[in-house]
């Protein structure tokens, strides 16, 4: 059964990071969309960008990997995988730029 709203988003996102790091190196996790703005409604999805050098770049394999984790943790998670180099070299005005401008950094690997 789906929860209407996730009460402790930070706990869920910490669990997500732990699960991801079992299989990939995670550079960044960014919450964006309604949960980052505090405007979520009942059954809003939880938009999360995950940046990793281990992703292949928007492939089916990348989406299946994050999708399986999302289903285990909370089916409202909508995870978008990005390669580190794509995220680092985005264009002003593209979707990544919007995530960077409006999202909330949840995790960033220490340099």
Q: Is the pLDDT of residue 4 over 80?
A: no
- pLDDT of amino acid 1: 40
- pLDDT of amino acid 3: 55
At 6-16, the pLDDT tens digits run: 678 999 999 99
In the structure encoding, which two tokens stand for residue 51, read together? 């940046």
Which domains are assigned to the chain? 9-108 (3.30.460.10)
- pLDDT of amino acid 11: 92
In the structure encoding, which two tokens stand for residue 81, read together? 């995988």
At 77-102, the pLDDT tens digits run: 999 999 999 988 888 889 999 999 99
- pLDDT of amino acid 111: 74
28-32 vs 77-83, strand pairing mode = unpaired
Q: Is the pLDDT of residue 41 over 90?
A: no
At 42-76, the pLDDT tens digits run: 888 999 999 999 999 989 999 999 999 999 999 99
């Amino acid at each position: 059964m789906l929860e209407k709203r996730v009460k402790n988003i930070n706990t869920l996102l910490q669990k997500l990071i732990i699960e991801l790091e079992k299989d990939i190196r995670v550079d960044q996790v960014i919450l964006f969309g309604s949960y980052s703005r505090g405007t979520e409604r009942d059954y809003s999805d939880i938009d999360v960008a995950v940046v990793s050098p281990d992703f292949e770049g928007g492939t089916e394999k990348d989406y299946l990997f994050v999708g399986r984790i999302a289903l285990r943790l909370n089916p409202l998670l909508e995870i978008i995988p990005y390669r580190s180099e794509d995220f680092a070299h985005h264009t002003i005005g593209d979707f990544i730029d919007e995530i960077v401008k409006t999202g909330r950094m949840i995790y960033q690997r220490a340099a």
